[in-house]
Structure formats: structure tokens, C-alpha cells
Chains A and B, each alone.
Chain A
Amino acid sequence: MNGLSRALCGLAISLALALPAFAQGSRADGFTRLPPGAKVMLMPPDVELYAISAGGIPEPREDWTRAALQHIKELYRERKAKAKVEVVELPDDGDETIEELKRLHGAVTRAIALHQSGQFALPSKRGKLDWSLGPDVGVLRQKTAADYALFLHIRDSYATPERMLAVVVGALFRTIVMPGGRQEIAASLVDLKTGQVLWFHRLQRATGDLREREPARETLDSLLYDAETSQ
């Protein structure tokens, strides 16, 4: 690839990733839905809401983040209650294996987001959702007696356009793409018997507001639609 086409390729990729709206949802082979009576553990959601100034530095907004966290937890419980699925929360006791699992999950999420489909799809995955956290998830099963775990990653920010392109390529492999001024949400459901990621949903868009109850419900609905109960 010569210098010019490399440069063009790089630019094209960044633009592709900067496309306004993107929803990615997939299920592992053989998984359709949570059986009724299933017990799902809600991992402490990894949520951060930001405002991005012209200076380019994201400023965490604690009040927004706290509101979002609360809405998400409550809304998720509501959804599961309707589907007769029990939701348990993990006691946050700083267990090292669990901390490591959270970090590993973050990396797995980024890998899925980047490589399951689209420009960077891995040929070896053949378009399937085939990723695992490995058998260490057993510790989660022990602590909660749950069969599944839901992980949520949320980065929601509001940025100036100038900021956008500058961060895209640089941030490409460091984190879920955060051009800013958008919601970046990833949710995954993990089988706690095997560590397999059963479904993965990602939402990347310029709209949505997690700070208020009803818009947050809309976000969660968009994120989780078709995932478990065709709702």
C-alpha cells in the first residue's frame, strides 16, 4: 500500500467510525433468550458521563453520572421483572479476581466492538459473536449463585466537532471510540458457567440522554431490543 492510499485508508476508517449512528447487536450461536426463572447478576455498571470542552479535555460530570447509574439500575430491574428474570447485584468488595474480570471484560468489549463486524472484522470470527472471558467467571457464580451476568459500559459525552476527528484515530485502539458528543454504550450478557459472551449490544449515536428517566428508558430499550424477549 503506498503512502497516499495508506493515508486515505486511515482517513476513510476514521470517517467510517465517525458516522453518526451505529447500532451493533449480535448473539452467540445457539443463544436465543434468557429462560424464565434465570438469575442475572448485574455487574456494577461502568458509567461515565462527560462534557468535552473546546480544550479537548473531557470533564466528568458527577451529577449526570450518578443520575444515569440510578436510572439504568432501576429500569433494568423493571425490564427483568416483566420477563420473570431475577436480578441480583454483586457486592463490591474489591475482590482482585473480580477487578481483573472487569478489566478483561472492558478489553473484550472493545475487541467485539472493533472486530466483530465492519471495517475491522476479523476473518477468523466469520462474523460470529465468539468471545469469552474464560473460566474465571466462576468466582462470580460462586458469589451470587447467578447463571448470567450483565455488564454495562457507558460513555456519554457532549463534545465540539473540532474535537471529534482528532481523537478518533488516536483513540481507535485504546478505548471504545469516543469522538464525543454521543452515547457509546455497550452491554454484554455473559454465561457464568463458561465465560462465553452470549450477546453483545452496542449503541453509538449522537442522541439520547441518560440523565433523565424517560430518555434513559428509551436508550435502554434501544440497546436491549431483540436481545432477550423481543421487546
Chain B
Amino acid sequence: MMRALRALLPLALLALASCAPMVMVAPGPAAVRDDFSVTVDSIWNRLTYPGIVFMAPGASEIWTAEGIPLDVLAFYIGVREGDALGRVLERGGKPLASYRAGMTPHEIVELYEQLVTQDGSAFTLGRLAPHRFGGADGFRFEYALTRKHDGLALSGVAYGAVIGKRLTLMAFTAPRMYYFAKYLPRVEAMAGTAQIKY
């Protein structure tokens, strides 16, 4: 097997040349996708291969300030009626409940909770309140997560809005100790500039 791996190495290096997993997000307006943008006041890092992040399975985009094992800013953009918010963590895992147009924020929070607790992490909802987001009357909620695999306590804040029956959610999760408070103001400011364009 090791020999096979070594043989593949040249091919790998070739492929590597065109892989740039982490890309800078410079201060200023940033298009997250064609139909969603935020204005950023400091440098963030964008992961161009979001599929491998197990903390936000199926997110449209993943950003991080200091690294995926620490903080994750996940965007779920334009989720359609009948689709799950994200994706199942492990193949053959229990299917996720689908988003329904007309769902209340309470029910959307339940979707989010189901998504991020697939690995056995424990989720506790904090404050849930109305909040302008993306140019619409949306909602904002706070939460705590105890991450299963290392037992680290995480804090989170998420913003969501439904426009034209499609749901967009932006969720920031970081260690409760030091990191969450460090980045919360930047995340709040960013959320305030969000524009949903579909």
C-alpha cells in the first residue's frame, strides 16, 4: 500500500498545484456566493473545500479566523423547500429533517440543532429573538455546544432569514473560552451588512 501511495505522489503534487484550500477574504465587500454578500472589517479565511468540515456538514461556505478546530463561520445559503439544511455527517446516517417554507424560527433552530449534533455533541439553545438580517425580518439565536470528540465548550451565534421561501443562515461557533468573545463584535458587524440577493 505504501508503494502505491508513493507512486501516486507525482500525480498528487500535480493536483496539489491547483488546490488552494484556504483563500483570503480581504476587508471590504465579500461575495459569499452569487446571491449573498457581506462586508468584512478584518481579514478572514475562506475554505474553498467546505465539504470536509464536520462541524458544519453541507454548509455552502466556511470561513474561519484562526482555524477550523477553533472557530467556524458557516453560511447556508438559499436552502429550498424540501431540502435539508445541510447534509448527513456519515454515510448511512439518519436522514435529516427537511426545511419547510413557513417554518418558524423555532423550528429552523431545531433543524440547525439536528445538523450540528449528529456527532453526539450536546446543544443548548439560549436567546432566540427577531433580528433584521439580509434585508428581511429574520431572527438571531445564541447557543452552547459541547463538542463530542474533545469535550470542548463552544459558544455560538446565528442569524437567519427567509426570503422568497428560501432560507439563509449564518452561524458562528467558537470556543467559549477567549475565542467567542474575541470575534463576536466582528461577526455581529458582518451580519449587519448581509445582503441576500435571490
Contact = CB atoms under 8 A, between A and B. Distances in A.
Query: Is chain B a partner of chain A in the same complex?
Result: yes
Given A103-B150, A135-B178, A111 B52 contact: no
B164 to A, nearest CB: 28
The residue in A18, A115, A121, A164 that gathers the most chain B C-beta atoms within 10 A of its C-beta is: A115
Contacts of B152: 100, 103-104, 106-107
B23 interface: yes
Given A123-B43, A132-B178, A134-B179, A12 B13 contact: yes
Interface string A123-150: 1110000011111100000000000000
A15 B8 CA distance: 8
Contacts of A164: 1, 5
A103 B151 contact: yes
B19 A119 contact: yes
A173 B150 CA distance: 12
Interface string B166-185: 00000000011111001000
B174 to A, nearest CB: 10
Kindly name the residue among B22, B65, B176 whose own CB sees the greatest number of chain A CB atoms within 10 A: B22
A173 B54 contact: yes
Contacts of B9: 15
A20 to B, nearest CB: 9
Interface stretch (B67-75, B94-102, B105-113, B135-143): B67-75
Contact of B69 (A10, A110, A119, A136): A110
Contact of B16 (A12, A131, A133): A12
Interface residues of B, number: 43
Interface in A12-46: 12-13, 15-16, 18
Contact of B15 (A9, A112, A136): A9
Contacts of A174: 54, 149
A101 interface: yes
B65 A107 contact: no
A67 interface: no
B48 A111 contact: no
B68 A114 contact: yes
Nearest to B17: A12
A122 B66 CA distance: 8
Contacts of A136: 177-178
Contacts of B48: 1
B69 A12 contact: no
B153 interface: yes
Contacts of B182: 134
A172 interface: yes
Nearest to B1: A161
A111 B70 contact: yes
Contact of B67 (A1, A101, A112, A134): A112
A120 B69 CA distance: 12
B66 A173 contact: no
Interface of A: 1, 5-6, 8-13, 15-16, 18, 100-101, 103-104, 106-108, 110-112, 114-115, 119-125, 131-136, 161-162, 164-165, 169, 172-175, 195
29 contacts: A5-B18, A11-B8, A12-B16, A15-B12, A16-B12, A100-B152, A101-B177, A104-B152, A107-B69, A107-B70, A110-B67, A110-B69, A111-B68, A114-B67, A114-B69, A119-B16, A121-B22, A123-B24, A124-B45, A124-B65, A135-B178, A161-B1, A161-B2, A161-B5, A165-B1, A169-B52, A173-B55, A173-B69, A174-B54
Given A111-B67, A123-B45, 15 more contacts: A10-B49, A10-B52, A16-B12, A100-B152, A101-B177, A103-B152, A107-B150, A108-B69, A119-B21, A123-B23, A123-B43, A134-B179, A136-B178, A173-B53, A173-B68
